[in-house]
């Protein structure tokens, strides 16, 4: 069958910019999947998505005008239900066949056309009746209508609006349409032919609209599906591809920065670069159809304000790209991505410079006002801010974080670190009461660091205040100094313990207090910073500072954190068996988990590993049934040669393995134990552990207990048994 490429475009009013790329991918993806499911497009069809501020489109290669007919076999019913004792069709069978469109005028012939075969879903090998038929392939118009409706229904639309559309019939009137934005036209071209499908009250044609102001013709008419991107760009002045539009913006941003740095305004400004922000770039790409980057500037007096404030207000409120110098410092230059390309851009540039000025003036005002009060003077105000109705105010929370930070600091660095950590924890949340953070909550912590330096606090404390929210997300940097590490740990532990202690536990995909993120942050800090204090001790001291506010116990939170770590390790490529073996022991010091896993991986590569893992599992089962067992061996009661040999091997190898474990050479420790395979195998072959004589039984159990303890210091080796 011959094929043609297919184009579908839905032209609408401005789509939500933050989800435009996702909408475009979903629209084209579902449309292609539905065409493939109906046999109208091949599995290897090339699908190209287009998404601009006012359109969603998809181009699919190799689409048939008519899908091939398809042979289908349907199970009807068990033979015992469909045929009577004489082998004639029952009324139930005839009714079923009639519903399927089969000819039942001759029941005998209809039954003869059926097939009998064993019913896989029935017990005892009972047979069922099967009906073979040929389903005619869907036409493109019918199949595409289904695919288009499905693609629109499955769009990840954040919020639907309702609008009225004039009905296309003899009687005047209006109909209601629900969609993300009002739709104005629909293009569906199969090669050069229009496929007359309908959607959102529109009938497909071959014309659309180009750029609002700069299209060369209106409407833009397409003669062939393959001309879409080229014609729309040439006649409509629109770059339809989201990816190409984004790449063009990046190119223009870099070119404008390079030109300015090289003296594009007759004065060199050194190496300049636009700020890197993928989310901003995606959003701006979704706001323009034909990007034109322009260079603007603001007064240098604003550079006295912390650059994070200026950058944030320019990005968040105006969608501008600030320019940084070679040292990463903000300059007075910024880039604007305009949607128009006038011959004289001075009016556009001047307008943007006028718009940004009051924004920067506000930031400067907030900053100047905040500097009039010290962070210490704001501490009392925390007691007036509610944190949680069951956990008290921000002031109470601050005192708990201080207590946790002081305890951790004392353990990790003595009195000096404890004092610095307590001070940083006391002031860490005070910037929540400043005007700047009130206007830009994203700057909490960052502004606290600036105000702490202004107040004359030590660099360590100021940096800790700035860093105490870190890591904010996966891959974020960790606190830069020990004080920041202690306060960040204390802050996250207080949140985790408090929320778990009052029953606010994540369920399913709901995690309103970001406890999973907090847990992963604690894990990263404990591992990457090689914190010596164990997790159980940290949780215990954190739980204690809440007094009687909490219910339950700390075990649920401990399990939660270990589960998060286990999931993270599996994502890093460790096998489920390896992770389970190490994490089942709940290692106290998380920084040791990596070397434990490496040791386990090296152990599993040894030829002795499977047998030892199986033996370990057997020993565990024996000891579990025995109850409390004392790891003590009376050599006088070792009667059998096999148990004497095992004991002798243990006396030689266990001290060696223990010394290697204490020295931190966990791989060698496990490999040393591998030499026990032969005496362990012989022991289980020749020795009855649960002997009738109680003293022999207890002695043999004690021998196995000693071995079990030694073998499972790095990991529970029984978890490696297949």
What distances in angstroms separate CA 674 from CA 419, 613, 623, 715, one per listed residue? Answer: 49, 10, 21, 14
pLDDT exceeds 70 at position 173: no
Q: Both 390 and 530 in a single domain? A: yes
Query: Which pTM was predicted?
Result: 0.80
Q: Both 286 and 409 in a single domain? A: no
Domain membership flag for residue 580: no
* Mean pLDDT, the chain, whole residue set: 91
Q: What percent of the chain has pLDDT over 90?
A: 66
A 10 A CB-CB count for 25 gives 17
Helix ranges restricted to H, 267-325: 278-285, 307-318
Over residues 102-125, mean pLDDT: 80
Q: Both 384 and 523 in a single domain? A: yes
What's the rounded Cα separation, in Å, for the pair 86 and 83? 8
| CB-side neighbour CA atoms (13 Å) of 357 | 11
Give the model's pLDDT for residue 26: 96
pLDDT exceeds 60 at position 189: yes
Structural tokens at position 669: 């420790």
Domain membership flag for residue 583: no
Structural tokens at position 320: 């501008």
- CATH assignment at residue 600: 1.10.730
**Cis peptide bond upstream of 461, omega within 30:** no
Q: Both 78 and 187 in a single domain? A: no
Indicate the number of domains in the chain.
5
pLDDT exceeds 60 at position 168: no
Q: Both 463 and 539 in a single domain? A: yes
Structural tokens at position 481: 């100094």
pLDDT exceeds 90 at position 684: no
Domain C-terminal end among 370, 387, 421: 370
Q: What percent of the chain has pLDDT over 70?
A: 97
pLDDT exceeds 60 at position 268: no
Give the model's pLDDT for residue 613: 87
- Vertex 567 angle, CA 565 and 568, to 5°: 65
Domain C-terminal end among 236, 260, 278: 236
pLDDT band of residue 292 (cuts 50, 70, 90) is very high
What's the rounded Cα separation, in Å, for the pair 220 and 210? 6
Q: Both 257 and 221 in a single domain? A: no
Q: Both 296 and 280 in a single domain? A: yes
Q: What is the pLDDT of residues 71-82, one digit of tens each?
A: 777 888 888 788
Q: Both 428 and 558 in a single domain? A: yes
Closest of 243, 189, 152 to residue 8, by C-alpha: 189
Over residues 42-53, mean pLDDT: 95
Give the model's pLDDT for residue 207: 96
pLDDT band of residue 545 (cuts 50, 70, 90) is very high
pLDDT exceeds 70 at position 663: yes
Q: Residues 451, 375: contact at Cβ < 8 Å?
A: yes
Q: Both 262 and 156 in a single domain? A: no
pLDDT band of residue 104 (cuts 50, 70, 90) is confident
Q: What is the pLDDT of residues 384-402, one digit of tens each?
A: 999 999 999 999 999 999 9
Give the model's pLDDT for residue 242: 97
Give the model's pLDDT for residue 620: 86
Domain membership flag for residue 257: yes
Q: Both 179 and 328 in a single domain? A: no
Of 123-132, 183-192, 686-695, which gets the smallest average pLDDT? 123-132
pLDDT exceeds 60 at position 622: yes
User: Tokens 């030829």 label which residue?
Assistant: 607
Domain membership flag for residue 121: yes
Q: Both 562 and 520 in a single domain? A: yes
Give the model's pLDDT for residue 299: 95
What's the rounded Cα separation, in Å, for the pair 108 and 102? 13
Q: What is the pLDDT of residues 460-496, one digit of tens each?
A: 999 999 999 999 988 899 999 999 999 999 999 999 9
Q: Both 200 and 52 in a single domain? A: yes
pLDDT exceeds 60 at position 411: yes
Domain membership flag for residue 63: yes
Domain membership flag for residue 588: no
Domain membership flag for residue 51: yes
Residue burial 533-561, b: 16+ Cβ < 10 Å; e: rest: bbbeebbebbbebbeeebeeebeebbebb
Domain membership flag for residue 584: no
What's the rounded Cα separation, in Å, for the pair 633 and 682? 18
**Cis peptide bond upstream of 471, omega within 30:** yes
Domain C-terminal end among 509, 540, 573: 573
Give the model's pLDDT for residue 374: 96
3-state secondary structure of 190: strand
Structural tokens at position 567: 């999931």
Domain limits for position 74: 70-135
- CATH assignment at residue 519: 1.10.3210
User: Does an H or E element contain 147, and which?
Assistant: helix 140-153
């Amino acid at each position: 069958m011959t094929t043609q490429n297919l184009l579908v475009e839905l032209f609408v009013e401005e789509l939500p910019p933050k989800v435009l790329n996702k909408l475009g991918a979903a629209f084209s993806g579902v449309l292609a999947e539905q065409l493939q499911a109906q046999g109208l497009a091949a599995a290897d069809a090339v699908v190209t998505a287009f998404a601009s501020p006012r359109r969603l489109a998809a181009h699919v290669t190799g689409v048939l005008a008519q899908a091939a007919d398809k042979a289908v076999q349907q199970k009807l019913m068990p033979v015992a239900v469909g045929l009577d004792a004489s082998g004639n069709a029952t009324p139930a069978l005839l009714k079923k066949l009639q519903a399927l469109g089969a000819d039942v005028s001759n029941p005998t012939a209809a039954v003869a056309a059926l097939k009998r075969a064993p019913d896989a879903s029935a017990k005892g090998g009972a047979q069922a009746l099967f009906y073979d038929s040929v389903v005619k392939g869907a036409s493109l118009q019918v199949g595409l209508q289904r695919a288009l409706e499905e693609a629109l229904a499955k769009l990840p639309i954040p919020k639907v609006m309702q609008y009225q559309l004039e009905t296309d019939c003899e009687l005047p009137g209006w109909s209601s349409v629900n969609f993300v934005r009002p739709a104005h036209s629909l293009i569906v071209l199969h090669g050069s032919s229009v496929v007359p499908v309908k959607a959102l009250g529109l009938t497909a044609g071959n014309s659309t609209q180009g750029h609002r102001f700069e299209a060369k013709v209106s409407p833009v008419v397409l003669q062939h599906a393959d001309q879409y991107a080229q014609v729309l760009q040439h006649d409509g002045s629109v770059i339809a591809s989201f990816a190409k539009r984004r790449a063009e913006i990046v190119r223009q941003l870099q070119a404008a920065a390079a030109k300015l740095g090289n003296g594009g305004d007759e004065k060199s400004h050194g190496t300049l670069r636009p700020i890197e922000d993928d989310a901003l770039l995606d959003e701006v790409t979704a706001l323009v159809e034909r990007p034109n980057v322009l260079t603007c500037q603001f007064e240098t007096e604003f550079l006295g304000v912390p650059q994070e404030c200026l950058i944030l207000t320019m990005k968040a409120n105006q969608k501008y790209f600030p320019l940084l110098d070679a040292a990463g410092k903000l300059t007075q230059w910024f880039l604007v991505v305009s949607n128009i390309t006038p011959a004289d851009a001075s009016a556009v540039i001047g307008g943007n410079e006028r718009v940004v000025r009051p924004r920067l003036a506000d930031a400067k005002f907030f900053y100047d006002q905040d500097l009039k009060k010290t962070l210490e003077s704001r501490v009392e105000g925390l007691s007036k801010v509610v944190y949680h109705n069951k956990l008290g105010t921000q002031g109470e929370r601050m005192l708990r974080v201080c207590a946790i930070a002081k305890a951790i600091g004392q353990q990790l660095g003595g009195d000096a670190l404890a004092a610095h950590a307590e001070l940083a924890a006391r002031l860490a949340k005070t910037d929540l009461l400043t005007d700047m953070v009130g206007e830009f909550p994203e700057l909490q912590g960052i502004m606290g660091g600036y105000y702490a330096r202004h107040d004359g606090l030590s660099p360590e404390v100021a940096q800790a205040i700035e860093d105490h929210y870190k890591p904010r997300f996966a891959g974020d940097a960790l606190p830069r100094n020990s004080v920041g590490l202690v306060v960040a740990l204390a802050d996250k532990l207080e949140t985790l313990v408090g929320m778990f202690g009052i029953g606010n536990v994540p369920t399913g995909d709901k995690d309103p207090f970001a406890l999973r993120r907090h847990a992963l942050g604690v894990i990263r800090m404990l591992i990457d910073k090689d914190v010596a204090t164990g997790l159980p001790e940290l949780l215990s001291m954190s739980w204690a500072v809440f007094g009687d506010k909490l219910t339950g116990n700390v075990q649920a939170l401990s399990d939660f954190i270990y589960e998060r770590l286990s999931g993270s390790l599996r994502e890093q490529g460790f096998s489920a068996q390896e992770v389970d073996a190490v994490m089942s022991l709940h290692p106290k010091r998380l920084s040791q988990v990596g070397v434990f896993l490496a040791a386990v991986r090296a152990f599993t590569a040894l030829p002795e590993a499977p047998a030892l893992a199986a033996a370990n599992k057997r020993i565990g089962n024996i000891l579990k049934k025995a109850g409390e067992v004392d790891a003590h061996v009376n050599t006088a009661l070792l009667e059998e040669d096999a148990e004497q040999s095992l004991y002798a091997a243990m006396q030689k190898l266990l001290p060696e393995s223990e010394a290697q474990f204490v020295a931190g050479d966990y791989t060698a420790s496990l490999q040393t134990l591998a030499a026990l395979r032969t005496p362990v195998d012989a022991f289980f072959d020749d020795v009855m552990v649960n002997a009738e004589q109680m003293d022999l039984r207890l002695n043999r159990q004690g021998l196995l207990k000693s071995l079990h303890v030694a073998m499972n210091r790095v990991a529970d080796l029984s978890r490696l048994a297949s």
